[in-house]
Amino acid sequence: MITAIEQLLVDDTAGDPMSTLKWTRRTTGRIAQELGRVGITVSRRTVGRLLHELHYSLRVNRKQLGTDSSPDRDRQFRYITQQRREFARRGDPIISVDTKKRELVGHFKNPGAKWDRAPVLVNDHDFPSDSDGVAIPYGIYDVQANRGYLHVGVSHDTPAFAVEAIAAWWLKEGRHRYGSSRQLLILADTGGSNSYRYWTWKTELQRRLCHRFGLTVTVTHYPTGASKWNPVEHRLFSEISKHWAAEPLTTYEKILKFIRTTVTTTGLQVRAFLDRTEYPTKQRVTAAEMAAVALTRHKVLPRWNYTIRPQSA
């Protein structure tokens, strides 16, 4: 029954990337009704108990909402679900991407607690000048294979860095797992290095993915303020945060080791690689470069949904 609930909520689950907490938009009564349609008779109370076993949490009202919530939120969620189902039906890859919290490398406090004989001593202040550098983990979560990939940068979180991470994932994993597929679906937030507003994000997708590998890339962005619903947050980042909780991230080697040894009872496995490339910021895109992108915007919310194809000869 637990497996049935997990399958039912696969498109309606959100979570905290820094903990194991998860939540869903569906009520226990509605879940019970939908289970009944597939021949599983269960009460709302039992559904609630099973949700607790799966680390889902009840929520209370909290005055923390911004004013930038979009009126198109529900429509976009429905469209993302539709796109995911179409790609999954064809067996084409679906990846969820985002940048995890930037970390200072050195003897700095890392949130969380662990069982140990004595507390680990760390710096009393988080001064960047005391660090050995920064670690910028860009995550790719393969939704269908339950596999994670982190590309750890040392300079800046830019669109070029983000797309290079996706290209590296395709070279090391994607093309071997989905060799016959020429279609890729990317689930991304509306902001950050993969923002829908950045033309550099689109030109880099064109150059580093579409043109280089002959891939047709469809991107769907989660609505503003809805990043917690992005699977990479609660299926990958939260597990890494839990794994290295209370451990000072003193070296790049230690960071990579913790990422690579992150596993779950559901079979998650993670790979990680260090990228020491310098990615400059404030890169400009010319009008000619914009015009050269083979971009097709979807009829449904075109600013958040678009497809980029390989350039013709």
Q: What is the pLDDT of residues 194-239, one digit of tens each?
A: 999 999 999 999 999 999 999 999 999 999 989 899 999 999 999 9
- When pLDDT is cut at 50, 70 and 90, the band that residue 12 belongs to is low
pLDDT for res 51: 79
- Mean pLDDT over each residue of the chain, to the nearest integer: 89
* CA distance from start to end of the chain: 53
Mean pLDDT of 22-26: 70
> Is the distance from CB of 236 to CB of 268 less than 8 angstroms?
yes
The mean pLDDT of 88-116, rounded to a whole number, is: 93
- Answer whether residue 67 shows pLDDT above 50: no
- Write down the pLDDT at residue 37: 80
**pLDDT value at 152 more than 90:** yes
Q: What is the mean pLDDT of residues 154-178?
A: 98
The yes-or-no verdict on residue 21 having pLDDT over 80 is no
Residues in the chain: 313
* Domain covering 73-308, topology: Nucleotidyltransferase; domain 5 (3.30.420)
Cβ pair 248, 108 in contact under 8 A: yes
Note the helical H segments in the chain. 2-8, 28-37, 44-53, 73-90, 159-169, 175-177, 199-204, 212-213, 231-232, 238-243, 252-260, 287-292
Q: Is the pLDDT of residue 17 over 80?
A: no
Confidence check: pLDDT of 61 > 60: no
Ranges in the chain annotated CATH 3.30.420: 73-308
Q: Residue 189's pLDDT is what?
A: 97
Long-range contacts of 106-110 (CB under 8 A, 24+ apart): 106/130, 106/131, 106/132, 106/248, 106/249, 106/250, 107/248, 107/250, 108/248, 108/249, 109/248, 110/244, 110/245, 110/246, 110/247, 110/248, 110/249
- When pLDDT is averaged across residues 125-142 and rounded to a whole number, the result is 95
Provide DSSP, 91-130. T--EEEEEEPPPEE-SS---SS----SSPPP--SS--GGG
Closest by alpha carbon to 4, among 49, 45, 36, 27? 36
Q: What confidence tier does 33 reach under pLDDT thresholds 50, 70, 90? A: confident
Match 């860009």 to its residue by tokens.
Answer: 138
pLDDT band at 58 (very low <50, low <70, confident <90, very high): low
Residue 265: how many other CB atoms lie within 10 Å: 5
pLDDT score of 64: 46
